[in-house]
Amino acid sequence: MVSNLVNAVILLGAPGAGKGTQTSLLCNEYGFFRVSTGDIIRVEVKLGSFLGKTVAHFQDKGQLVPDDLVSELVFSRLRALESDSFVFDGFPRTLAQAIKLDEYLQASSLSSSVVLVDVPFESIRTRILGRLYCPGCQSIFSSLASAAYEGMPCPSCGVQLAVRPDDNIEVLKDRYDIYNREIGPILEYYGSRVRSVDGTQPSEMVYDSLVRLLELKSFQC
């Protein structure tokens, strides 16, 4: 049983800020359920579902999938789950999504904590252009910052590691511009609910800061 004080951890931050890594760590240790919209969308695209075909070109170009589509993806997933503890990675990405998420959480009587993982663009650029991902389980391998690892089997599921199609400098610039445009209104909306961690630290230190900030308790079975 999860005994955390908070139901929903909402991680904000630029692409490549390390939200995915922190989400995995929180989910593994504290039993949260991962809600990563980038992963959900990539899986739909890979499956070739109707939705996947509708949204594929947004993701390829680094543009945002329309709010209604992405919100429906998230909320239908949440409704299907029995868990009431989530980490949101990559959602919300617009003010409209933030408002919809608050409405959902309030209607479900779920508490939330909002944390900004703060990393400047130069670090983002180095990280994103150096990372690989697993098309099977969606894991990110940022420490394998070498093309030499491309095509090696994923340590978790064995699928060959690859460069994410949207991890190139042109698409990254667009994704970062969109992030900069959207994050201001989101931060303004959340106001004093937002707390920050320094995302330039090594990931284990970022994680320690997060756990302290969220006042998490041990995950007990």
Which positions lie near ligand AMP, rule CB under 6 A?
15, 37-38, 41, 58-59, 62-65, 70, 90-91, 93, 97, 166, 175
Q: How many CB atoms lie within 10 A of CB 145?
A: 14
What's the residue count for the chain? 221
Q: Write the CB contacts of 62 (distance below 8 Å, at least 6 apart in sequence).
A: 166, 171, 172, 174, 175, 178
Q: Phi and psi (nearest 5°) for 117?
A: -95, 105
Cα 35 from Cα 25, distance rounded (Å): 13
**Closest distance between ligand AMP and the C-beta of residue 51, in Å?**
12
β-pair partners for 113: 9
Q: Which is nearer to ligand AMP, 131 or 175 (CB)?
A: 175
Q: Which is nearer to ligand AMP, 41 or 197 (CB)?
A: 41
CA 47 to chain centre: 20
Residue written as token pair 């969308």? 41
**Closest distance between ligand AMP and the C-beta of residue 170, in Å?**
13
CA 81 to chain centre: 18
Residue of this chain nearest to ligand AMP (CB atom): 38
CA nearest to 38, candidates 133, 147, 162: 133
| Residue type for position 180 | N
Q: Which is nearer to ligand AMP, 41 or 124 (CB)?
A: 41
Tokens of 87: 């980490």
Q: Which is nearer to ligand AMP, 2 or 135 (CB)?
A: 135
**Closest distance between ligand AMP and the C-beta of residue 106, in Å?**
19
Q: Which is nearer to ligand AMP, 4 or 45 (CB)?
A: 45
| Residue type for position 161 | L
**Closest distance between ligand AMP and the C-beta of residue 208, in Å?**
23
Q: Which is nearer to ligand AMP, 127 or 175 (CB)?
A: 175
**Closest distance between ligand AMP and the C-beta of residue 70, in Å?**
4
**Closest distance between ligand AMP and the C-beta of residue 15, in Å?**
4
